[in-house]
Structure 1
């Protein structure tokens, strides 16, 4: 992998200033990582938008099927889908004009990174947003 993440200072700035997070692949199962991570971020004051065509709601928030179904601006697209799906989610991220693409720990894709870079979207890959929040922004 050749992707390059922003610096710690840049990530800290993102976490302090970008508060509306669309979570792609957010599960309604409290035992799933996406649920646990999003729960912590929600408790920390972030607005969470569940994006998953297979669930009705998470945390009492109605889920949307796609990123394009979200009304209003999205600050961060936080992705919990396998790495091979990242290019598709990157294209959707650019299409909705989101500021940040964040692929969770263990997820990275050079094709998605290159596409996002070409379209001036900041990308963070292979990092857990909850861990980075605890480490840099709490």
Structure 2
């Protein structure tokens, strides 16, 4: 876990830091998950599920419904299983209470999506022992680090019999 003594550069993450997070988590709570199939959170949730993660949607508007086979919860505190990572698809102003809730439920990671940054909430989460990533997408980082995304934006291997390796 990240400690207060470990200084993370939130403008330039080391690949090993991101890779370590993606390898260490199994259950991801996606705050702001959408049931709308053409929203970025829907694509990210589906992709992460296909990579073996359990992704639990959190969205008060859709609480009690299902998104991609998972029950939607109104808040992090309502999720009945241990959450490893909280992935936030909310604007930066909404992050402080989400960070507080992530700390309260004992999450290991607070991940803020592309365009989302809140330095004070990050400091508070890190002081509580959480690792923090801001302004990044776990779907994109997974694809980049597993080399699914090549320089042309797609997997450049034409045909391969190799079994896909989980980063």
TM over 0.5: yes
How far apart are residue 5 of structure 1 and its match?
6.2
Q: How many equivalent pairs are there?
A: 137
1:67 counterpart (69, 76, 101): 76
Give the structure with the larger helix fraction. 1
Secondary structure of 2:74's match?
coil
**Alignment-derived partner of residue 90 in structure 1:** 99
**Alignment-derived partner of residue 126 in structure 1:** 135
Pairwise CA RMSD of aligned residues? 1.5
Q: Equivalents in 2 of 1:122, 1:52: separation in Å?
A: 23
Instruction: Normalising by structure 1, report the TM-score.
Output: 0.93
Secondary structure of 1:50's match?
strand
Is 1:5–1:125's contact at 8 Å kept on the other side of the alignment?
A: no
How far apart are residue 47 of structure 1 and its match?
0.3
Q: Equivalents in 1 of 2:81, 2:11: separation in Å?
A: 29
Q: Equivalents in 1 of 2:78, 2:143: separation in Å?
A: 30
Whether 1:33 aligns to 2:40 is yes
2:61 counterpart (43, 47, 54): 54
Q: Equivalents in 1 of 2:81, 2:98: separation in Å?
A: 18
**Alignment-derived partner of residue 8 in structure 1:** 15
- Which segments of 5 or more consecutive residues in structure 2 lack a partner in the other structure? 1-8, 147-166
Is 1:5–1:124's contact at 8 Å kept on the other side of the alignment?
A: no
Q: Equivalents in 1 of 2:10, 2:122: separation in Å?
A: 6
**Alignment-derived partner of residue 76 in structure 1:** 85
Secondary structure of 1:21's match?
strand
Range with bigger deviation, 56-65 or 90-99: 56-65
Whether 1:24 aligns to 2:31 is yes
Range with bigger deviation, 44-53 or 4-13: 4-13
In our comparison, the structure showing a higher alpha carbon Rg is 2
Secondary structure of 1:54's match?
helix
